Structure 1
Amino acid sequence: MRKAKQALQQSGFTLIELLIAVALMAVMAGLGWRGLDGLVRSREVNQSRVDATAVLQTVLAQWRSDLDHLALVPGINDAGLAWDGQTLRITRRASTPLANGSDAGLWVVAWTRRDGRWWRWQSNALRDRTLLLAAWGRAERWGKNASAEDQNFETPLVAIDQWQINYFRANAWTNALSSSGVLPSAGNTTPISAAPDAVRLVIQLKPERNASAPKGRITLDWVRPNFSNSKT
């Protein structure tokens, strides 16, 4: 009887052993929680990077779409676009047709940099020449000093430090401002007021609080769909 009682006592755990076991379990739980927290944070950073990149890609896709749907309007916008060093204005075909399937008309679109951010402005779809001319002038005013009413038609985009526009005409890249005042070279019958063969966009992304957001300089070339660089 005494031997059985002693064996029962020896098979249990002492208080010290229990405390050590509890301490080890606490350490393991802490390490496991830290590992889980690290995984969650890593996932959040990756998702933030993916989201920021997706936003930038959407903005650049919109830029291409505006140029792809460029529309020349004689007497208002002979080249389809106009750059004043601060704002780029574009007349483009509206991409959303009317309910009956007919052409919705034209949009006047403008891009500018304000307060360290890229902005886009878009008018309503217009089919009247007088209204189109008014929207063209309104887009210019918006780029210089946006009124409260004009701000209802604008969209904030990505943060940028600076941006630049170049045109490709007569087989050469030139500053979009200087090219407007250059006469055609001998033998070149392409009028300067015509739409450029290509447009080069250069933007310097501005660092944001989101450390995972895209950074650096981006150069994006758009080429007129019917452009041919063949030489005779």
Structure 2
Amino acid sequence: MASCARHARARATFFHQNGAARGFTLVEVLVALAIMALMAVMTWRGIDGMARAQQATREHTDGVLALQAGLGQWRADLDAMMVWPLPSTATDPANATAQANSPAATRSLAWDGSVLRLTRASSRAPGDGVRVVAWARRPTGEWLRWQSAPVSAQNAWASAWEAAARWGQAGAPLLPPGAPAQAVQIGRLTDWQLHYYRNNAWTNPLSSAAEAVAGGGSSTNSAVPDAIRLMLTLAPGQPLAGALQVDWVRPTLGGGS
């Protein structure tokens, strides 16, 4: 009997001590809560940092892709550049000089130091005519591309050609939806220049008085140069900044088709 009583007291003491060991004091609870709060803050900051890094990566990638698309469009415009054909009704040899000096015969490419205009084949199905394209830099630095609707008559082309010049003179504004022409921003520049490759040398298109239009004050070339060098100074704060040079070579140079 005495032995059973001792065993019962021992079990009671064990259960009492074991139950007391499983409890937590207020200090321990507060410390645990503080540790969990710190871990939650660190986790949130890590997730926030990852989200910001992903956003910055997306913005950088989008900016680079937009610039690549713009330069691809630049090359496509030059590849499709053409000399406007002479009017079919002007076949009199006595009018040869007038035909050679007519805007329709000469203005396939014009650069006045701030706006480049060119005539290119329409990217749509053959027979849709041609487009007038203009590239310009705004005074605030935005580099934009303007294009007309497809035209197939000389008068329509002349109107589009002059509209491109007015667009550049007005500061290259973006156009409202539904306008007959379109303007798209490519990027931001602090400066841009063009050089033409002719007679085995790079030259400034504005340096020759023979290339200036009489009374017009712009550079107009009747023949497509062998190559065109585009020199851009990309504005800071973009995915790519600094100097960038892009060379275009006429596809038919050297007898290519």
Normalising by the residue count of structure 2, what TM-score does the alignment of the two structures yield?
Answer: 0.76
Aligned pair partner of 1:60 in 71, 79, 83: 71
Distance 1:180 1:66, change over 3 A: farther
- Secondary structure of the residue aligned to 2:254 is coil
Alpha-carbon separation, structure 2, partners of 1:55 and 1:67: 19
Kindly tell me the number of residue pairs found equivalent between the two proteins. 213
Query: By how many angstroms is 1:158 displaced?
Result: 0.9
Deviations 1:158-188 (A, max 9, x none): 1111110110001100001114637xxxxxx
Deviations 1:30-77 (A, max 9, x none): 111111111111111111100100111111111111001001015325
Aligned pair partner of 1:216 in 227, 242, 255: 242
Gap runs ≥5 in structure 2: 1-11, 87-101, 212-220
- Asked whether the 8 Å contact 1:203–1:218 carries over to 2, the reply is yes
Query: By how many angstroms is 1:156 displaced?
Result: 2.4
- Secondary structure of the residue aligned to 1:137 is helix
Residues 1:228 and 2:254 are matched in the alignment = yes
Letter in 2 for 1:130: N
Query: By how many angstroms is 1:143 displaced?
Result: 1.4
Alpha-carbon separation, structure 2, partners of 1:9 and 1:141: 90
Q: Which of the pair has more CA radius of gyration?
A: 2
Partner of 1:105: 129
Residues 1:156 and 2:185 are matched in the alignment = yes
Partner of 1:43: 54
Gap runs ≥5 in structure 1: 183-191
Distance 1:117 1:24, change over 3 A: same
Aligned pair partner of 1:143 in 168, 173, 177: 168
- Asked whether the 8 Å contact 2:226–2:249 carries over to 1, the reply is yes
- Relative to its length, the structure with more helix (as a share) is 2
Query: By how many angstroms is 1:4 displaced?
Result: 1.9
- Secondary structure of the residue aligned to 1:12 is coil
